[in-house]
Amino acid sequence: MGRRWRPAYNDPVKNPPLIEAILLRRYKRFLADVIMPDGSQQTVHVPNTGSLLGCIREGSTCYLQDHGGTARKYRYSLFMVKPGRSLVCVDTVLPNRLVLEAARRQGIVELAGYHEYISEVPYGTGSRIDLLCRIHTRDMLERCWVEVKATTLVEDRVALFPDAVTARGRKHLAELEAMVGQGDRALQLFFIQRRDCDVFRPAAHIDAAYAEALHRAHAAGVEILALRGEPTKQGIRIGRPIPVEL
């Protein structure tokens, strides 16, 4: 499109101070028990529908967000875990917000230069795209459909997605492929919520069908971007892209 820009992958997400706790166990997918700094035990919300493979370790350090003063059933939610030496953000809603805010500030090179950045736009078959980037004038319509996948699994410094079989993920890839077939851009963005990785690959040993679908979508023109996050005890920011190996 002939646009020029400067890289700016460091847009931060500002969070209230996190509370350090000890992770006891995760159960019923959306719940975990932790030991608070005062020694009491609390049940907290886990904002992640995935398996969190390799991220949940009994007795490890974790970090909580405090939602006190709201009508939420659980005052605290699990925000980061530390199963080893590296912090891992486990909030799957955060990447969509982070990518949207950074894109609107022209902070993601691959998405810079558009006039509009819109979230949750209906498309495909009963789906909503995480981000639609658009130039829409009387003489021009250019669109880029962006699907964001929160990624938490890392093995031997390789970031992997998915961490469990995902029919929904395959559906999203097919819908991105259809957008390319209509003449639009489409981008599958993997936001890796930890920094201990050097490359991204599809987790074919976990979901071979998803890996095949990603290959197929890429061959059809769907772009793939893997951004490494930089979590700290104060929050998380977007880091640099890492290579994608299919």
Among candidates 138, 142, 133, which has minimal Cα distance to 109?
Answer: 133
pTM of the model: 0.91
Domains of the chain, start order: 14-89 (2.40.50.580), 94-241 (3.40.1350.60)
Are 104 and 113 spatial neighbours (Cβ–Cβ below 8 Å)?
A: no
Q: How far apart are CA 52 and CA 160, in angstroms?
A: 12
The answer to whether 140 touches 134, Cβ cutoff 8 Å, is no
CA–CA separation, 14 and 149 (whole Å): 21
Distance between alpha carbon 130 and the CA centroid of its chain, in Å? 11
- Using DSSP's 3-state secondary structure scheme, residue 108 falls into coil
Residues 6+ apart with CB under 8 A from 166: 207, 210
pLDDT digits over 141-186, tens only?
A: 999 999 999 999 999 999 999 999 999 999 999 999 999 999 999 9
Which pLDDT value is given to residue 108?
96
Distance from C-alpha of 176 to C-alpha of 159, rounded to nearest angstrom: 22
What are the pLDDT tens digits along the chain (246 aa)? 333 334 444 544 556 689 999 999 999 989 999 999 999 999 999 999 899 999 999 999 999 999 887 788 999 999 999 999 999 999 999 999 999 999 999 999 999 999 999 999 999 889 999 999 999 888 889 999 999 999 999 999 999 999 999 999 999 999 999 999 999 999 999 999 999 999 999 999 999 999 999 999 999 999 999 999 999 988 899 999 999 999
Pairing assessment for the beta strands 61-66 and 76-82 based on DSSP bridges:
antiparallel
Cα separation, 67 vs 86, in Å, equals 25
Q: Give the containing element (helix H, strand E) for 176.
A: helix 167-181
Beta-carbon contacts of 76 under 8 Å, excluding residues fewer than 6 positions away, are 19, 34, 42, 44, 45, 64, 65, 66, 67
Task: List the one residue out of 200, 210, 207 whose CA is nearest residue 246.
Answer: 200
